[in-house]
Amino acid sequence: MTAKKITLDGNQAAAYIAHKTNEVIAIYPITPASPMGELSDEWSAQGKKNIWGGVPEIIEMQSEGGASGAVHGAVQAGALTTTFTASQGLLLMIPNMYKIAGELSPVVIHVAARSLAAQALSIFGDHSDVMATRSTGFAMLASGSVQEAMDLALISHAAILRGHLPFVHFFDGFRTSHELMKVELVDDDVIRSMIDSDDLIAHRQRAMTPDRPVLRGTSQNPDVYFQGRETVNPWYEKLPGVVQDCMDQFARLTGRQYRLFDYFGATDAEKVIIIMGSGAEAVEETVEDLLTGGEKVGLLRVRLYRPFSVEHLLETLPATVNSIAVLDRCKEPGAAGEPLYK
Average pLDDT, 10 consecutive residues per value, the chain (342 residues): 90 99 98 98 98 98 98 98 99 98 98 98 97 98 99 99 98 98 98 97 95 92 95 98 99 98 98 98 98 98 98 98 98 96 92
Residue among 106, 152, 139 at smallest CA distance from 254: 152
**How far apart, in whole angstroms, are the C-alpha atoms of residue 102 and residue 249?**
28
pLDDT (0 to 100) of residue 272 = 99
pLDDT (0 to 100) of residue 3 = 83
Q: What are the chain's domains?
A: 5-201 (3.40.50.970), 261-327 (3.40.50.920)
- Tell me how far the alpha carbon of residue 292 is from its chain's centroid: 34
Residues 6 or more apart whose CB falls under 8 angstroms from that of 63 comprise 28, 92
**How far apart, in whole angstroms, are the C-alpha atoms of residue 72 and residue 84?**
14
Q: Are strands 181-184 and 5-8 parallel, antiparallel or unpaired?
A: antiparallel
**How far apart, in whole angstroms, are the C-alpha atoms of residue 316 and residue 312?**
6
Task: Decide: 106 and 75 in contact? Cβ < 8 Å.
Answer: yes
pLDDT (0 to 100) of residue 288 = 98
Task: Decide: 32 and 24 in contact? Cβ < 8 Å.
Answer: no
**How far apart, in whole angstroms, are the C-alpha atoms of residue 175 and residue 128?**
15
pLDDT (0 to 100) of residue 1 = 56
> Which amino acid does the sequence have at 225?
Y
pLDDT (0 to 100) of residue 195 = 97
**How far apart, in whole angstroms, are the C-alpha atoms of residue 17 and residue 279?**
24
Q: Is 186 helix (H, G, I), strand (E, B) or coil?
A: coil
pLDDT (0 to 100) of residue 185 = 98
